[in-house]
Amino acid sequence: MKKRITPPEIKKLKKGEYIVFGSNSKGDHAGGLAAYCKKHFKAKQGTARGLTGQCYAIDTMSGLKVIKEQIEPFLTTAKVMNEKIFYVTLIGCGIAGYTPEQIAPLFKDALEIENIYLPKEFYDILRPIVRGYKIFNSDFTCRAHKYEVGKEYKHKGELKICNSGLHFCLKASHCFSYYAFDKRNIVCEVEALGDVVYHTEDSKAATNHIKILRQLTWEEVLQVANEGSDNTGHSNTGYSNTGYWNTGDRNTGYSNTGYSNTGYSNTGYSNTGYSNTGNWNTGYSNTGNRNTGNWNTGYSNTGNRNTGDWNTGDWNTGDWNTGYSNTGNRNTGNRNTGNWNTGNWNTGYSNTGNWNTGNRNTGYSNTGNRNTGAFCTGEKYMTFFNKPSKMTEEDFKKSTAYSLLCQVDTKMWIQESVMTDQEKEENKGWKINEGYYKSISFAEAFKTKWDNWSENNREAFKSLPNFDKEIFELITSVKI
């Protein structure tokens, strides 16, 4: 709040400035400040209330009740004429016989109106008492300036948080965001006597006039810095904490709301990691229990971002997976939506190859079931488009078509910002993971890639042995 004080003597007014003076019920400006306003600032004889010339008249001779009922219209006028400046004088405190303690409270709301200035006597009565805490080095210095208890200090110039001014915090605990929590430092209670500006992120403030009220003992510091009891840290609302910002009990870490945590930001119990809402986790940001990985919402995971249980890989939503990004169960490969797959990107079951949507295939991109051979020796040629070919699997893996197939991903990452309510309901781990992997069909994934491939890349598929555009369309949804 900026301190706006009416000058003790006003001999001249600039354009846009108005003086507020005490009048009588007849508007007879015969003596004192009223006569001066009539002579120099064009106050009109006979005008007892309101705007007159470069003045604003208030009848102060008809009782406190009458004075009070005139304040609201004056404040309204000042708000409407917000580009003008109004200097309130010590109205009612002269011939009317009232004291500043009687008149000042009538102008309480004027403190919030930026273009109204009040006499120092009014302001000192009305100003809010702003007290807080300030930390000094062990020699009672702050930024090379020496301070003493009981003395006042002033700052000249602009007030700017963390830049210029005499700084302090309204909450003692916030002081320790800027100073070490060290009993060798000196902590004092202070009062701001001048203008005050405030930090937007915590209770830090800066003033241009400060008084050092008293020095606190370390026992007092522990009391004012914590809301709980028996804490040796600061900013705790629980009990027997040795860390900081804990609302639970017996924590040795920071920002815990649970109990007996040695990590940070845990809301569960007995966690040694960070940001866990479950129990017995040694990792980070887990909402389940007994996880040694990070961001898990299930139980007993050693990987990361799993929403199922007993996974050793990452981003699995099923159970017992050792790969990554599986939504099924017991997969040892990656990005499978079925179960018991040891390959990758399969949506079926028990496939050991890749990109299969059927079951028990050991090849690639099959939509049928059980495509393989038996009792074979040597290297067998591969079947393409339901017909034998002269291409071996080794040759196929060296082809451009195979390298392009490796780009086809049947898992699509969906950011939480675009998730539907239904998706959030169906994917319980979305909040921890900040989204989820959406399973899409091989055909949808392939067509998405196809639409972005160059003609040369597309030709790599058309050049495969026995290319059949109808079978190709059946599997990939791409019409040639």
The pLDDT, as a whole number, for residue 276 is: 67
Question: Domain boundary residue among 126, 159, 194?
Answer: 126
Clarify whether residues 141 and 119 are in a common domain: no
Q: What percent of the chain has pLDDT over 90?
A: 47
**H or E element: which one contains 443?**
helix 442-450
Task: Judge whether 88 lies within some domain.
Answer: yes
Rounded CA-CA distance 228/222 in Å is: 10
Distance CA(267)–CA(264), nearest Å, equals: 9
**Does residue 103 carry a pLDDT above 60?**
yes
Sequence-ordered list of residues with C-beta below 8 angstroms from that of 442, at least 6 positions apart, any chain: 345, 347, 355, 357, 365, 367, 408, 410, 475, 476
| Domain encompassing residue 218 | 130-224
Angle between helices 469-476 and 442-450 (to 10 degrees): 110
User: 200 in a domain, yes or no?
Assistant: yes
The pLDDT tens digits for 265-288 are 566 656 666 556 666 677 666 776
Shared domain check, 163 and 104 = no
Domain annotation covers residue 144: yes
Residue with the bigger pLDDT between 376 and 160: it is 160
Would you state the pLDDT for residue 147? 97
Task: Clarify whether residues 152 and 173 are in a common domain.
Answer: yes
Helix, strand, coil in percent for the chain, rounding step 5: 20, 20, 55
In a domain, residue 290? The reply is no
Residues 121, 140: one domain? no
What CATH number has the domain bearing residue 118?
Answer: 3.40.220.10
The answer on 203 and 109 residing in a single domain is no
136, 168: one domain: yes
Cα separation, 131 vs 292, whole angstroms:
47
Let me know whether 22 and 120 are in one domain.
Answer: yes
Question: What pLDDT band is residue 43 in, cutting at 50, 70 and 90?
Answer: very high
152 and 210 inside one domain: yes
Q: Is residue 1 part of a domain?
A: no
Residue 418 inside a domain? The answer is no
Residues 137 and 98 in one domain: no
At 127 the pLDDT is 79
| Chain segment 47-66, per-residue pLDDT in tens | 999 999 999 999 999 999 99
Among 96, 126, 156, residue at a domain's last position = 126
Confidence of residue 21 (pLDDT cuts 50, 70, 90): very high
pLDDT band at 428 (very low <50, low <70, confident <90, very high): confident
Contacts of 375 (CB under 8 A, 6+ apart): none
- The reported pLDDT for the residue numbered 3 is 77
33 and 80 both lie in a single domain: yes
Return the pLDDT at 303. Answer: 72
% of the chain beyond a pLDDT of 70: 74
Q: Report the alpha-carbon distance of residue 227 to residue 407 in Å, rounded.
A: 56
Give, in order, the Cα–Cα distances in Å from 331 to each of 89, 195, 312, 339, 352. 84, 67, 11, 6, 10
Backbone torsions φ then ψ of 401, nearest 5 degrees: -60, -40
Q: Greatest CA span in the chain, whole angstroms?
A: 125
User: Measured between alpha carbons, how far is 429 from 433 in angstroms, rounded to an integer?
Assistant: 6
Asked whether residue 28 carries a pLDDT value surpassing 90, the answer given is yes
Consecutive H or E run containing 153? strand 152-154
Statement to judge: residues 139 and 209 lie in one domain: yes
In this structure, the answer to whether residues 55 and 142 fall within a common structural domain is no
Among candidate residues 81, 105, 126, the one where a domain is terminated: 126
The tokens for 315 are 């981003």
Instruction: Name the domain count of the chain.
Output: 2
Q: Which two tokens stand for residue 91?
A: 């109205």
The answer to whether position 214 is within a domain reads yes
Is the pLDDT score of 321 beyond 60? yes
Q: Identify whether 308 is part of a domain.
A: no
More confident position, 129 or 328: 129
